[in-house]
Amino acid sequence: MTATNDLLNRYAEALLGVFGRPALVLDRGEGCYVWDVDGVRYLDLLGGIAVSALGHNHPELVAAVSKQVASQIHISNFFTSRAQIELAERLLSLAEAPAGSRVFLTNSGTESLEAAIKLARRTGRRGILAMAGAFHGRSTGALALTAKAAYREPFEPLLPGVRHIPYDDLDALEAALGPDVGAVVLEPIQGEAGVIEPHPGYLAGVRELTRRRGALMIVDEVQTGVGRTGDWFAFQAAGIRPDAMTLAKGLGGGVPIGALVTFGPEVSAMLQPGMHGSTFGGNPLAAAAALAVLDTIERDGLLANATAMGHYFAEAVAALRHPAISGTRGRGLLRAVTFERPIAAVVATQARDAGFIINPVAPDAIRLAPPLIIGRPEVDAFVSALGPIADRAIEEMS
C-alpha cells in the first residue's frame, strides 16, 4: 500500500467529510513544485487556490516568519506591534487609499467579508446586493452573499436582506439599487464562478451608480488582490476606487491573514471602538508574513511577471489550436482554459496523473492561479502537455 493510500484511509476515518476524498497527500514544496508523500513531484499551477503567491518555501517568507516566530507570535488586540502597523500602512499605500482610510486585519477571506457585512449594516440600510455566481465564503453571513444554491440551501434561512442580481449587467443593478440598499458587494473578476471577467466599463458603472444612490461599493479582492491579476488590486485596472475592499488568500503567501480596507474617513468611521474584533486578527506572525509577501512582490517585479506570464500562457494555449479547447479567460495569473465539452473534471485528473495541479472550476473550464514567480519553462511544460491531456480526457469520457 502506498503512503498516500494509507494516509487517505486514515483521513477518511478522522476528518469531517466536507471536502470529500482529497486528491493527494502533500509533503513539501519548493518554488512552483510540490511533492506528495510517495515522492511524486507536481507543478503547482493552482498555488493553494491563489494563496501561495511566492510559491513554496520562498527564502524571504521563510526568513521573515522564522524571525517573527523566534521573537513573538501573538499579543492580543489590547496591544499592537510594529509589523501590524507597517502592514496596514503598506496596504493603504499600495491601494492608493486617500487620507482617512483604514485597515481591519482578519484571518481569512470569510472573516473579511463578515467585517464588510457589518460595515454595510452600519449604513442603516438593510439591503445588500450581491451577484449571481458570486463566492464570498461559507460562514452564515458570507454564505448569504454567496450565490450557489447547493452551498446555501441546507443552511437557510441565512442573513436576510441579500439579493442576487446578474453580474456584469448595469441595467439590472440600476433596477435593483433602491433606497433600501446599503451596499453592493462584488468580485472584480469572479473566481469560483469560473474566472469571469466583466466587460470594460462595468466596474466604473457600478461605482457611478452606487455613488449616485448612496450605497457602498465593496469589492471582494480575496482572490484577485495582492498582484494576482497583474495590479496590486484588480479595481485599480478599472480606474476606480471602491468604498471598501476585502483581502485574504495571497496576502500571507500561505500564512492565514485577511483584511478589510475602508476608503476615506466617512466609511472608516462607520465601525467604531467595540463594534468589531478578532483574537488572532493582525497577529505579528501573520503581519510579518504579509509584509514579506508584499516586499518580495515589489522587489522582484512580480506584478509585471504576472501580467507577462498571463499573456504568454494565453497566447501559448491559443497557438495550440486544439479542437477541444475553446479559449482562455482571465487576467494576469488568474486564468481559465475553457473546453468545447464538459471535460474539465477528467482533464484535471489526467493533468494530475501527468504531474500538474490545476482545478476544474466549472464543468467546461479549468482554473490556474499559479505562484506569481512562475516562469516560461513552467508555462511551457504545462501548455505542451495540455493537448495530450485533453485528448486522453476525451478518450476516457467516450
By CB under 6 A, tell whether 362 contacts ligand PLP: no
In the block, cell 510517495 appears at 38
With CA atoms as reference, report the closest residue to 382 among 148, 144, 45: 45
By CB under 6 A, tell whether 236 contacts ligand PLP: no
Contact 105, 278 (CB under 8 A): yes
Strands 181-186 and 127-131: parallel
Q: Among residues 109 and 182, whose Cβ is nearest to ligand PLP?
A: 109
Assign 308 to helix, strand or coil.
helix
Piece of 147-155, 215-223, 298-306, 307-315 that binds ligand PLP (CB under 6 A): 215-223
Minimum CB distance to ligand PLP, residue 198 (Å):
14
Q: Among residues 43 and 218, whose Cβ is nearest to ligand PLP?
A: 218
Q: Is 67 assigned a catalytic role?
A: no
Residue 168 counted as an annotated binding residue: no
Contact characters 99-128, ligand PLP, x per CB under 6 A = ---------xxx--x---------------
Residue 190 counted as an annotated binding residue: no
List for the chain the helix, strand, coil content (%; round to 5): 40, 20, 40
How far is residue 86 CA from its own chain's centroid?
A: 23
Among 103, 215, 248, 351, binds ligand PLP (CB under 6 A): 248
Q: Is 135 assigned a catalytic role?
A: yes
Q: Among residues 205 and 254, whose Cβ is nearest to ligand PLP?
A: 254
Cα first-last separation, the chain:
31
CA atoms within 13 A on the CB side of 32: 21
Instruction: Pick the catalytic residue from 36, 233, 249, 364.
Output: 249
By CB under 6 A, tell whether 137 contacts ligand PLP: yes
Instruction: Pick the catalytic residue from 36, 44, 104, 135.
Output: 135
With CA atoms as reference, report the closest residue to 204 among 168, 180, 176: 168
Touching ligand PLP, residues 167-196 (CB under 6 A): 187, 191-192
CA separation for the pair 248, 220 (Å, rounded): 10
- Output the nine-digit C-alpha cell for 212: 449616485
Name beta bridge partners: 165: 131
Q: Among residues 192 and 243, whose Cβ is nearest to ligand PLP?
A: 192
Q: Among residues 109 and 310, whose Cβ is nearest to ligand PLP?
A: 109
E strands of the chain, at which residues?
26-30, 33-36, 41-44, 102-106, 127-131, 162-165, 181-186, 216-220, 244-247, 258-262, 325-331, 334-339, 356-357, 359-362, 365-368
Q: Among residues 87 and 394, whose Cβ is nearest to ligand PLP?
A: 87
By CB under 6 A, tell whether 135 contacts ligand PLP: yes
Q: Is 104 assigned a catalytic role?
A: no
Assign 74 to helix, strand or coil.
coil
Among 4, 52, 68, 223, binds ligand PLP (CB under 6 A): 223
Residues binding ligand PLP: what is the number (CB under 6 A)?
15
Residue 267 counted as an annotated binding residue: no
The pair phi, psi for residue 149, each rounded to 5°, is -60, -40
Minimum CB distance to ligand PLP, residue 246 (Å):
7
By CB under 6 A, tell whether 220 contacts ligand PLP: yes
Piece of 30-38, 64-72, 167-175, 220-228 that binds ligand PLP (CB under 6 A): 220-228
Contact 206, 175 (CB under 8 A): no
Contact characters 50-89, ligand PLP, x per CB under 6 A = ----------------------------------------
Contact 313, 108 (CB under 8 A): no
For the annotated binding site for N(2)-acetyl-L-ornithine, the residues are: 138, 278
Catalytic residues: 135, 220, 249
Contacts with ligand PLP, residue ranges (CB under 6 A) = 108-110, 113, 135-137, 187, 191-192, 220, 222-223, 248-249
For the annotated binding site, the residues are: 109-110, 135, 138, 220-223, 278-279
